[in-house]
Amino acid sequence: MTTRQSSTIDKIISALNILSVFFLVVSVAVTFMNVLLRYVFKSPLHWADELATLSLVAMVFLPIAVIEKTGDHLRLTILFQIFGERMKTLCDYLRILGTLAISLYFVVTGFPVIYQNYLLANKTASLKIPTALTFAPIPIAFSAVALVNLFLIFKLISRKRQE
């Protein structure tokens, strides 16, 4: 995989990370404003909880490709440390292939859900946001994870060829 392709993946991941930070700011601001309005002015916003929840979903799912690329996800490092190099490489391949399979499952099943909600013109209860948009962060995030895992597979294969 070329440096250009790696740079493209980095740009996609960076954009998802920026979106996640945006949703964090929205969620905190709306929640703060709603608490203030509810307890000080006794007049809460009826749509604030819905927006905060939707922002939370986007904020959690969008940056998972960053965690996958940097390798900061949870793993059993104690077991991993006792393995030899061959076993570590095998575990890396299995982890990447497993994550790729799960990611592709969410992509393949997620986009039809978005499409069906788009066709049905479903909207959220308070904000009247198309539900197709509310489901979008999940398959988008897992598409990025699949892309990162394909990159990692090519990286492992090219490293193996160089040895």
Res. 22: pLDDT tops 90 = yes
pLDDT at residue 18 in the model: 94
| CA separation for the pair 115, 64 (Å, rounded) | 23
What pLDDT sits at residue 76? 67
116 Cβ neighbours under 8 A, 6+ residues apart: none
Residue 35 is predicted with a pLDDT of: 96
Report the pLDDT averaged over residues 45-70. 92
> Which pLDDT does position 68 carry in this prediction?
87
Among 103, 82, 83, 107, smallest CA distance to 153 is for 103
Q: What is the pLDDT of residue 1?
A: 53
Whether 135 has a pLDDT exceeding 60, the answer reads yes
How far apart are the C-alpha atoms of 13 and 8, rounded to whole Å? Answer: 9
Please indicate whether residue 108 or residue 154 has the higher confidence score (pLDDT). Answer: 108
pLDDT value at 14 more than 60: yes
Alpha-carbon distance 85 to 78, whole Å? Answer: 15
pLDDT at 72 over 80: no
Count of structural domains, the chain: 1
Domain that holds residue 37: 3-162
Q: Is the pLDDT of residue 142 over 90?
A: yes
pTM of the model: 0.85
